[in-house]
Amino acid sequence: MNPAQTLGVVAIVGAALLAPAAASAQQTVESLGLTITTTPAATTDYLFRGISQTRGRPAVQLTLDVEHESGLYVGAFVSNANFAGTNIRQEVDGMFGYRFSVAGVKLDVGATYFGYPGYDKPPGGFEAAWWEANIRASYEFEPFKLVGLFAWSPNYNFESGNAFYLEGGLDVTLPLAFTLGLRAGYQWIDRNFPSVNRPQDGAWGAPDYGVFSASLSREIAFGVIGAVTVSQATINDAECFGGQKICGTRVVATLTRPF
């Protein structure tokens, strides 16, 4: 972690110790039965399932969620991104789904499209965009919250074939309004590396891997939430997309402010 990132972590932790308790943030359109949540964020590194999407650089992001009282929702996510060897500089995702509860378990069944506007596929190259179906579940019993995620893509990033992701986790409300988040997941990909026998097939560029993370978050002030996350992706340097420094252990500081 560079000096600027270190200072960001120290500032967030220090401010969090003096911060007030968290407040709710959302907007409603009662006549249409809609709840709208807009969440801007600034982070020292954009991680997706433990792997940096910005090559260790900061990111500015925005998430929009529009949910109808029926449980149907649509949303979007925007962030800068930087993939080595490509002209990818931004990511724009779209999502939709249905949220409901069964016997106290909150469920979210939906799909997400991961898009990279402006990306030019090189001759003989592969499309970066992909989509996946997912189901999320959570169950709360104070001060704990159990969470789970299963996702499937028929053709993962850079046309690497079938991919599955499974994750489980636990959130714990701590004294002084801190929240501890623990996550453990595993990513399977059909075609990890290019095939000499089938050069027409896309490949992801790294092996299947596990990812583990621990985060500590708290409202700092005026609805701004600070978080520090330590993440570990079980891919060694040699197998990390040709030796890129975007896997392994990473420490990330993030500020969000839901509206």
Over its length of 259 residues, how does the chain's per-residue pLDDT go in tens digits?
Answer: 444 444 444 344 344 333 343 444 689 999 999 999 999 999 999 999 999 999 999 999 999 999 999 999 999 999 999 999 999 999 999 999 999 999 999 999 999 999 999 999 999 899 999 999 999 999 999 999 999 999 999 999 999 999 999 999 999 999 999 999 999 999 999 999 999 999 999 999 999 999 999 999 999 999 999 999 999 999 999 999 999 999 999 999 999 999 9
Cis peptide before 40 (omega within 30 of 0): no
State the Cα–Cα distance between residues 219 and 209, nearest whole angstrom: 32
State the Cα–Cα distance between residues 246 and 243, nearest whole angstrom: 9
Burial-class residue 168 by CB neighbours within 10 Å (0-12, 13-18, 19+).
middle
pTM: 0.89
Which residues lie closer than 8 Å to 2 by C-beta, 6 or more apart? Answer: none
Query: Amino acid identity, residue 10?
Result: V
Answer for the pair 96, 70: CB distance below 8 angstroms, yes or no.
Answer: no
State the Cα–Cα distance between residues 251 and 253, nearest whole angstrom: 7
pLDDT recorded at residue 25: 66
Annotated domain spans of the chain: 3-256
Answer for the pair 257, 225: CB distance below 8 angstroms, yes or no.
Answer: yes
Token pair for residue 177?
A: 């309004």
Give the right CATH number for 3-256 from 2.40.160.40, 1.10.3720.10, 3.40.1710.10, 3.40.190.10. Answer: 2.40.160.40
Answer for the pair 223, 23: CB distance below 8 angstroms, yes or no.
Answer: yes
Torsion of CA 52, 56, 59, 63, to 10 degrees: 20
